[in-house]
Amino acid sequence: MKPKNNLAIELTESEQKEIGFLAERVNPKGKTKAAYNAEMRKRNKASFAFNKKRATNIGVTHYVWRSTGDSDVCEVCKANDGKVFAYSENPEHGHAGCGNCKTNGYCRCYDEPILPE
């Protein structure tokens, strides 16, 4: 069932559980760098899944890959920055922010939905 205003999304119980931790701040204190990065990758994947569901709920099919544009951006993200991707197709290194491109850290890219006219 689609929400009346098309902006709210209905999440299943498992989806709520999966993204519920997004409201919590990730605290690096007391964690190894690897553990912190793994937690951030998990968080970014959940955030992308939430954004995808919200966007596709209002008819969005594609997004623009956005990187942070700083010196820590990996080669994959530099190459993808500004390009258009479909939510329904998985790019070679995963979607924006999902972290499959960076093995020594976490991806800070994000998807910018292309709103229907």
In a domain, 87, yes or no: yes
Round the average pLDDT of the chain to a whole number and report it.
80
Confidence of residue 7 (pLDDT cuts 50, 70, 90): very low
Average pLDDT over every residue of 58-67: 95
- The answer to whether position 103 is within a domain reads yes
Residue 20 located in a structural domain = no
Query: Collapsing DSSP states into helix, strand and coil, what is residue 95?
Result: coil
In this structure, is residue 40 part of a structural domain?
A: yes
Q: In terms of pLDDT, which residue wins out, 28 or 5?
A: 28
- Which residues lie closer than 8 Å to 32 by C-beta, 6 or more apart? none
Domain residues for the domain of 77 are 31-113
Q: Does residue 10 lie in a domain region? A: no
Number of domains comprising the chain:
1
Percent with pLDDT over 90 in the chain: 30
pLDDT at 27: 63
Query: Does residue 93 belong to any structural domain of this protein?
Result: yes
The answer to whether residue 17 sits within a structural domain is: no
Q: Does 58 fall in a domain?
A: yes
Nearest residue to 106 via CA among 41, 47, 22: 41
DSSP string, 12-69: -HHHHHHHGGGGSPP--TTS-HHHHHHHHHHHHHHHHHHHHHHHHHTT--EEEEE---
Give residue-wise pLDDT tens across range 17-52: 665 555 556 666 777 878 888 888 888 888 888 899
Please tell me the predicted confidence (pLDDT) of residue 100. Answer: 74
